[in-house]
């Protein structure tokens, strides 16, 4: 039988999230439906802050908006005393709409356009550059007060190869040598405040890895300080804190991680006389990942060479299984107490072979009309969904102590055509 953990509950065989009955939610709001528990987001943010702040008080949590950019969710996260990291102009706008102050927003783009750099400069957010040569482009129209560079510390790690953003095979970050060049140019141009950043991979489950890379970043910062003669106001060690997706997989020990990183950071900054700069982290998944489930309705079951369970959740709704072969646990929300007894392929309704949410998954008997709950859908779930095959994107509901509110309406065909312009000659 399934192990059901908060924010999920098994009440007499029915799945609840945040005190709300998922089967009733599926009926009331339709499927596919993303359901997010507000309480869980708050707990996750608080747990993270508690893991670091007691060990290093000059600490800031910045939420990586790309993981889930729903405005209501951004507002919940903002109210937990956080900042935000934006990957583009649109995310800067969303952060401001959600009430984040400019000084709490950073902009970490890559291969930026000049117009986006201009927008970020005018927005007064902290600009974090992915190449020393981009600084020259930026300096053509402005001298920002603060600049930081994204370093590739030479190592990377991630749950899937596509999620490794540091080391040799990646388009991200710059070497220590290029950083020296970048910071020298910045100093020469009159920039006054400096930060240093890295983001080396996503969904990392090893505690020690984070202190290893923190040490590397501090070493590089010390080298830059020596060569260029600048002082760092902040260090951003990125996000990447993993959550467990597989049944039985152990959670990341975030308290041990925070303590260890803070200690490494204190030791390093002391060793190199770097002062007491702000320590930042920039997670997405850890805050929102397990706060949401995705509800699917089973519409048809085909028994051919294999058993295919066809639902209204496909790669258009949740791309991760198709893109990374990512594993998401799946429960039958309306019959939680049944035992596993068959292997099935659970798929969507899209015209692609990769449209598979789970392959060869051991499940109890599934019937047409059942509601399936796909777990850990809060990060990179809706955010990576599409309208492929002309499927409207899902609705989103927020639950809080049993109370459910719609936070994104389901799309309809009008959403496909709203920006289209058909030339008059084609209308004849």
Among 239, 268, 310, 378, binds ligand LLP (CB under 6 A): 239
Tell me if 294 sits within 8 A of 318, measured CB to CB. yes
What is the residue whose two structure tokens read 């040799």?
168
Nearer to ligand LLP, 66 or 361 (CB): 66
Coil/strand/helix, residue 40: helix
Beta-carbon contacts of 103 under 8 Å, excluding residues fewer than 6 positions away, are 124, 125, 126
Coil/strand/helix, residue 271: helix
Among 153, 277, 284, 378, binds ligand LLP (CB under 6 A): 284
Nearer to ligand LLP, 144 or 289 (CB): 289
Rule CB under 6 A: which of 61-90 touch ligand LLP?
64, 66-67, 85
Beta-carbon contacts of 64 under 8 Å, excluding residues fewer than 6 positions away, are 84, 85, 87, 239, 282, 283, 284
Tally of CB atoms within 10 A around 113 = 12
Candidates 14-22, 233-241, 291-299, 414-422 — which segment interacts with ligand LLP by CB under 6 A? Answer: 233-241
Q: Rule CB under 6 A: is residue 156 a binding residue for ligand LLP?
A: no
Nearer to ligand LLP, 242 or 310 (CB): 242
197: alpha, beta or left, given left = phi > 0 and alpha = psi -120 to 50?
beta
Q: Rule CB under 6 A: is residue 240 a binding residue for ligand LLP?
A: yes
Residue nearest to ligand LLP according to CB distances in the complex = 239
> Two tokens at 197?
């950043």
Coil/strand/helix, residue 67: helix
Rounded Cα gap, residues 25 and 33, in angstroms: 8
Among 21, 44, 82, 202, binds ligand LLP (CB under 6 A): 202
Between vectors from CA 210 to CA 206 and to CA 216, what angle results, nearest 5°? 135
Nearer to ligand LLP, 64 or 374 (CB): 64
Q: Rule CB under 6 A: is residue 33 a binding residue for ligand LLP?
A: no
Coil/strand/helix, residue 189: coil
Binding mask 309-338 for ligand LLP (x = CB under 6 A): -----------x------------------
Rounded Cα gap, residues 336 and 314, in angstroms: 22
Among 283, 321, 364, 378, binds ligand LLP (CB under 6 A): 283
Q: Rule CB under 6 A: is residue 163 a binding residue for ligand LLP?
A: yes
Binding mask 369-388 for ligand LLP (x = CB under 6 A): ----------xx---x----
Q: Report, as residue numbers or ranges, the catalytic residues.
A: 351
Q: Rule CB under 6 A: is residue 268 a binding residue for ligand LLP?
A: no
Q: Identify the bridge partners of residue 343 per DSSP, sorted by sequence position.
A: 362
Residues that bind ligand LLP (CB under 6 A): 64, 66-67, 85, 108, 163, 199, 202-203, 238-241, 282-286, 320, 379-380, 384
């Amino acid at each position: 039988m399934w192990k059901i953990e908060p924010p999920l509950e098994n009440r007499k065989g029915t799945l609840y999230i945040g005190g709300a009955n998922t089967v009733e939610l599926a009926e009331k709001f339709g499927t596919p439906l993303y359901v997010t528990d507000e309480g869980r987001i708050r707990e996750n943010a608080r747990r993270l802050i508690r893991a670091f702040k007691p060990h290093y008080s000059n600490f800031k949590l910045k939420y990586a908006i790309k993981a889930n950019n729903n405005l209501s969710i951004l507002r919940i996260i903002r109210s937990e005393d956080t900042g935000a990291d934006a990957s583009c102009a649109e995310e800067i706008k969303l952060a401001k709409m959600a009430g984040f102050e400019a000084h709490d927003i950073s902009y970490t783009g890559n291969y930026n356009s000049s117009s986006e750099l201009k927008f970020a400069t005018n927005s007064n957010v902290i600009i974090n550059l992915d190449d020393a040569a981009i600084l020259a482009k930026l300096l053509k129209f402005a001298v920002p007060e603060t600049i930081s560079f994204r370093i590739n510390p030479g190592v990377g790690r991630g749950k899937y190869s596509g999620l490794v953003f540091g080391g040799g095979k990646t388009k991200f970050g710059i070497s220590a040598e290029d950083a020296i060049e970048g910071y020298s140019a910045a100093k020469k141009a009159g920039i006054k405040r400096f930060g240093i950043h890295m983001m080396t991979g996503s969904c990392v489950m090893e505690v020690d890895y984070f202190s290893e890379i923190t040490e590397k970043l501090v070493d590089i910062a010390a080298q830059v300080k020596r060569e260029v003669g600048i002082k760092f106001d902040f260090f951003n060690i990125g996000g990447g804190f993993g959550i467990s997706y597989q049944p039985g997989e152990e959670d990341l020990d975030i308290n041990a991680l925070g303590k260890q990183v803070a200690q490494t950071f204190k030791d390093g900054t002391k060793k190199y006389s770097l002062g007491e700069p702000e320590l930042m982290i920039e997670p997405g998944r850890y805050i929102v990942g397990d706060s949401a489930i995705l509800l699917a309705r089973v519409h048809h079951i085909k028994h051919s060479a294999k058993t295919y369970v066809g639902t209204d959740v496909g790669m258009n709704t949740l791309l991760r299984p198709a893109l990374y072969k990512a594993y998401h646990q799946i429960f039958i929300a309306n019959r939680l107490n049944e035992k596993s007894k068959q292997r099935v392929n659970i798929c969507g309704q899209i015209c692609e072979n990769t449209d598979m949410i789970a392959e060869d998954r051991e499940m109890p008997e599934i019937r047409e009309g059942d509601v399936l709950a796909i777990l850990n859908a809060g990060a990179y779930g809706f955010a990576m969904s599409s309208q492929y095959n002309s499927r409207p994107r899902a609705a989103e509901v927020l639950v809080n102590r049993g109370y459910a509110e719609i936070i994104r309406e389901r799309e309809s065909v009008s959403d496909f055509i709203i920006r289209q312009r058909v030339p008059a000659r084609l209308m004849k």
